[in-house]
Structure 1
């Protein structure tokens, strides 16, 4: 494959899984102090606002990336999300990351659909594509017009916000299902891949099945395809991240390195430490202990 390609070292983020915004803001400088490279918070539909939390975290940190894991873009108004993310990007002097996906289907999690009905995967995919296109325009701080199937924007020359600090846009990581090509082609156009896996021949795959079947060998195959596709699109010289989420002990460096190293060798560029099994009442103590132990660099 031709062109110049960025080779990125593995970086390490910590996902704060609890709901207390004060705790998340308290943890932000600890995450930075103990050598992590990013802090991520989850985004619900009726929950603590992650972008308010990240704005506060931006004022207490200097180095770490700040983002969500993840934002259901089809559920959001792109212009409101553009304002929130651009604000955090300005406050952090260009340390924001946006992670987006289709959102959880209604049949999987009713809690996310208490205010509206799920329009279906196809419609959510259309909303995701249009939302991503809109964000690219909205972050530039320039007049534009947009006329999509679901969104529109009339041109205006007044009260335009400043462009984002990061150009050409805030780095945007997109969920993609390997080996579903339409989903993966969407990923290839942006700045990072959050992997999902649908094993060929499997009719229904739940989260546990997906995690068990998705191996570093599968990841390497998908990453090779993404590199080739980005080369074809003329994007091979632009940074591109591959995210792997998981859990390590923080107490056994050799065992932790053995967990993370195969993913790095496969081409992952971010390890996100995320233990979603910790109950809310234990999140504070568990997070402080794991953060203090440092990233699983090996």
Structure 2
């Protein structure tokens, strides 16, 4: 299992430089990845929002080996060809450390007259993913679809990673459509729909069910990632490890540690990062 920290798109107490510094410290502390969400307007009381692509670029320039991910970009709200160019550039800047996560997007981010219908956004997402893969191939590519048209073009350079940058899909479980979409790509970042008691936290049995569903619907034997995320025990590595082990046993390949401090909690968040991942 790999371990990543999920940092806030609003910076640390609103400070972007401190966000970059926390990511650098995470690398020094032994974490495997740093992940940002992608919003135009970030959730939270003050709505402070930085661009995740530029923030990850700054992090890439301050780190050496930690993987960099976005979980997840609302692809229907972006131009796929512009995003492809940005992603390829960041993959080169980071020397092949980028992971791309995509989804439909949250309703809270629909401020700008975008398509809101989920079925339409799903079609746009699938078309956009096809376009991304085509443009990252380094081969001549054209597309005639429902929402996008591309006359033949070749994108160079190709990404550092081959055959392309890994693509993860985010979505709600136990809805099957997002997991089925993810099975066609490289990973799944599930969130849990609240149950009858209002509990929306993923459990190990959810990860097991996701793994079984993906295995049934996936062709080929290429590696596939499944993420679990939450807050592990602070100050007790053994307790944190015991908390995460059932997720690993169920099939999760990544654990995302939420480091999303409220104002005044940045010191505690930094201490959790310095504690490092709960490896064996």
TM-score by length of 2: 0.89
Q: Which residue of 2 aligns with 1:288?
A: 270
1:55-94 superposed matches below 5 A: 55-94=57-96
Residues 23, 284 of structure 1: 8 Å contact kept? no
Is residue 260 of structure 2 the alignment partner of residue 273 of structure 1? no
Post-superposition offset of 1:269: 0.4
The 1-side partners of 2:90 and 2:264 are apart by 28
Aligned residue in 1 for 2:200:
210
Deviations 1:18-52 (A, max 9, x none): 52321222122211110000011221114311111
Paired position in structure 1 for 2:6:
15
Q: What's 1:4 paired with?
A: none
SS of 1:141 mapped into structure 2: coil
The answer for the alignment partner of 1:122 in structure 2 is 119
Describe the superposition over 1:28-87 as per-residue Cα deviations: whole angstroms up to 9, x where unpaired: 221111000001122111431111111121122111100112211111111111111111
Query: In 1, Cα distance between the equivalents of 2:173 and 2:62?
Result: 38
Alignment of 1:228-239 (within 5 A): 228-230=216-218, 233=219, 235-236=220-221, 238-239=222-223
Aligned to 1:195: 190
Bigger shift: 249-258 or 81-90? 249-258
Distance in 2 separating the partners of 1:195 and 1:226: 12
Q: Secondary structure at the match of 1:69?
A: strand
- Does structure 1 residue 264 correspond to structure 2 residue 254? no
> Structure 1 216/165 Cα, relative in aligned 2: closer, same or farther at 3 Å?
same
- TM-score by length of structure 1 reads 0.84
| Two-structure CA RMSD over aligned residues (Å) | 2.0
**C-alpha distance in 2 between matches for 1:145 and 1:118:** 24
Deviation at 1:217, TM superposition (A): 1.3
Partner of 1:255: 239
Superposition deviation, residue 152 in structure 1: 1.0
Aligned mate of 1:139, from 136, 139, 159: 136
Contact kept in structure 2, 1:250 and 1:296, CA below 8 Å: no
- Secondary structure, in 3 states, of the residue corresponding to 1:244? strand
Q: Secondary structure at the match of 1:150?
A: coil
The count of corresponding residues between Structure 1 and Structure 2 is: 269
For the 8 Å contact 2:186–2:225, the answer to whether it is kept is yes
Structure 1 unaligned blocks of 5 or more: 1-9
Q: Distance in 2 between matches of 1:151 and 1:218?
A: 35
Once residues 239 and 213 of structure 2 are traced to their aligned partners in structure 1, the CA distance between those partners, rounded to angstroms, is 30
